[in-house]
Structure 1
């Protein structure tokens, strides 16, 4: 299901009106308005068109319905196999998630780099949010 809040936020980051997004995506401005208000949800095909017009992955404007820590833990369990995630505890007792997936590790490194740039004021709040919403389309890994 689409997140109206995320859709509106990304539309505004892209400096688009609802009408402009409607034109770029080939969907009516009334539909865009209803998606943002949470009155309707687009089909998969419509969601893909909107994401393409916003230059983002459809997952960036989807509501993932994580309401509790338990919801998050269950997702980690589900991803354990696909991403070879496993818990790890260092000598100090700190716990981490580790993975044997080079792609996942590259993502974590890039995310860490971007967080540091944001913390050090090398990029703005908006640029950091845009990078996250636009991932993987704005990934430095794609430029290699």
Structure 2
């Protein structure tokens, strides 16, 4: 796994007793680097922290077109979870569009996720496909822009 600084993480080892493994997931247009201060504080408290760059983000130089599906975009997170030792459970923290990534990861690896924390993040519901969230943001985002334009013209 790649850290937010672009360095290769060491092999995944089990968390020490009392420590939590925490995976911080960035939003669109960012990379693992955006969690630097939070990761530093969590590590100082004794936790194992990873902040992977999702596909075509952060230090990953690929263009977004090389990650054509959401699963492709989220693959670095999914691979990190797949590599965890059996029985280890992590805390996933997602910000902004990272909420969609941690929701997918929790759905695919429920046995490896202790809790998912959505920090001002997109949160899909249980009755619609993931694309519904993006559709709603687009609709409401356009409505908000129209409302702002109307309010500022008065």
TM-score (normalizing by structure 1): 0.26
Higher helix content, 1 or 2: 1
Higher strand content, 1 or 2: 2
TM-score (normalizing by structure 2): 0.25
Larger Rg: 1
